[in-house]
Amino acid sequence: MLTKQDYEKYSQLAIEYLEKAGIVITEEEKKKVEVAEYELGCIDKVGLELVVYVNTEKCCAKELVLLPGQTCPEHRHPSVNGEMGKEETFRCRWGKVYLYVEGEETKDRKTAPPEGMEEYFTCKKEVVLNPGEQYTIMPNTLHWFRAGENGAIVSEFSTKSRDEYDIYTDPRIDAAGKRNI
Ligand code: ZN
């Protein structure tokens, strides 16, 4: 678990990155910046910060902030109660993001999974997103992503977000994004 001080430190860093990118959020939203560290205790490697703009029955929009070197662990969004899983589009706003999806392996990939965790990062098709570039991930397909050396800001547009049903490849992370082993 992150300490309160760390939570504040990382949410403050996220706010600074958003300001640097010229993305305006309200004072209310600043108070609600979320820090995800999956309780693995290595937020500089596995973790990200986010601001949720909207999450209704139909659609969801968020800003994801990845500090330099931060990685979102591999996961997929399964069907829930007969409803299709989440479809998501990532659009890079600032910095550079390396996205890995199911499909043919990219040779000479630009980044790698966090050291020592390679077995939990199985997608090897690389999609590099620079500002203004985007990619859509279909429901129930595996994906993970990592920021470039300067960090990245990614806008996410998706169908309803039900994080509590997400399935992570790393068995230590449960659906709620909490550590379960
Ligand atoms: Zn996802």
Cα(72) to ligand 1 centroid in Å equals 9
Q: Lowest-confidence range among 61-70, 95-104, 144-153, 170-179?
A: 170-179
Cα(17) to ligand 1 centroid in Å equals 21
Cα(181) to ligand 1 centroid in Å equals 21
- Is there a contact between 86 and 163 (Cβ–Cβ < 8 Å)? no
Cα(83) to ligand 1 centroid in Å equals 16
Encode burial over 102-140: b for 16+ CB neighbours within 10 A, e otherwise: eeeeeeeeebebbeebeebbebeebbbbeeeebbebebe
Instruction: Indicate the helix (H) or strand (E) that contains 13.
Output: helix 4-20
What pTM was estimated for this model as a whole?
0.95
Proportion of the chain above pLDDT 90, given as a percent: 91
Cα(2) to ligand 1 centroid in Å equals 22
Nearest-angstrom CA–CA distance, 71 and 144: 7
Confidence of residue 1 (pLDDT cuts 50, 70, 90): confident
Task: Calculate the alpha carbon distances from 135 to 2, 45, 54 in Å.
Answer: 31, 23, 20
Cα(168) to ligand 1 centroid in Å equals 10
Tell whether the model's pLDDT for residue 181 goes beyond 60. no
Domains of the chain (ranges plus CATH)?
4-177 (2.60.120.10)
Distance of CA 87 to the CA centre of its chain: 14
Q: What is the mean pLDDT of residues 34-58?
A: 94
Cα(133) to ligand 1 centroid in Å equals 17
Task: Calculate the alpha carbon distances from 111 to 53, 100, 150 in Å.
Answer: 30, 10, 13
Cα(100) to ligand 1 centroid in Å equals 11
Cα(19) to ligand 1 centroid in Å equals 25
Cα(20) to ligand 1 centroid in Å equals 25
Task: Calculate the alpha carbon distances from 6 to 36, 51, 57, 65, 68 in Å.
Answer: 11, 17, 32, 16, 16
What is the C-alpha radius of gyration for the chain, rounded to an integer number of angstroms?
15
Confidence of residue 164 (pLDDT cuts 50, 70, 90): confident
Cα(86) to ligand 1 centroid in Å equals 8
3-class SS at 145? strand
**Both ends of the chain: CA-CA distance in Å?**
13
User: Tokens 């600043």, residue?
Assistant: 30
Q: What is the mean pLDDT of residues 14-31?
A: 97
Cα(75) to ligand 1 centroid in Å equals 6
